[in-house]
Amino acid sequence: MYNLYLIAHFILALIWLGVAIYLDFTFLSGFNKVTTEGKKTMIVRIRSLSDHTEMIASFFLPLVGVLMIIDRTFWLKVGVMHWKIMLALIAIGIYHASRGVLNKLEAALDEGSPTEGLQKRYVVFRMIVLVFLVSSVTMIISYKGVISTFFLISFWLG
């Protein structure tokens, strides 16, 4: 069962990280170049994609991680895992805070208020989330030397 949890955890992490990079690139490359209506549309599209991918991943990743730890309790003795869990939980919290900033940004656009400060805060929050996610992956790779999920999937595929 652990292998199934491992693959689910890996796929959810890939989804979250991939979509996070895409959404951050989309926001950074286009937000200041479009009109106010374009900004509102962009925020709606970002939130919609985030709702269907990142939000789900940020919920199920810790759940699957807990199932993995229950199945293989020796991970609780590995110090790197404690740091990885802490970084992942902080990333989830900051991710949800960035969604709150995005909602405030949308409200500010509706009111015609200045949005520069909110834009900067949103970008900073999102970058911190990316750094923490990449750091947690790096911690596992540095501990194990590889991403064992690649070998597991290739073994199952033949």
Overall number of domains in the chain: 1
* pLDDT value for 151: 65
The vertex-146 CA angle with 136 and 152, nearest 5°, equals: 105
Report d(CA 154, CA 138) in Å as an integer: 21
Question: Nearest-5° angle of CA 107, CA 109, CA 110?
Answer: 65
- Please answer whether residues 106 and 37 qualify as being in contact, where contact means their C-beta atoms are separated by less than 8 angstroms: no
Q: Percent of the chain, pLDDT > 90? A: 27
C-alpha span between 129 and 123 (Å, rounded): 10
Provide the pLDDT for residue 45: 92
pLDDT of 67 > 90? The answer is yes
pLDDT digits (tens, 9 = 90+) for 87-125: 888 989 999 999 999 999 999 988 888 888 999 999 999
- Within the chain, residue ranges assigned H as helices are 2-30, 36-52, 54-71, 79-111, 116-144, 148-157
pLDDT, position 35 = 87
Q: Domain containing 72: what range?
A: 2-157
pLDDT tens digits along 10-45: 889 889 889 988 988 888 888 888 888 888 999 999
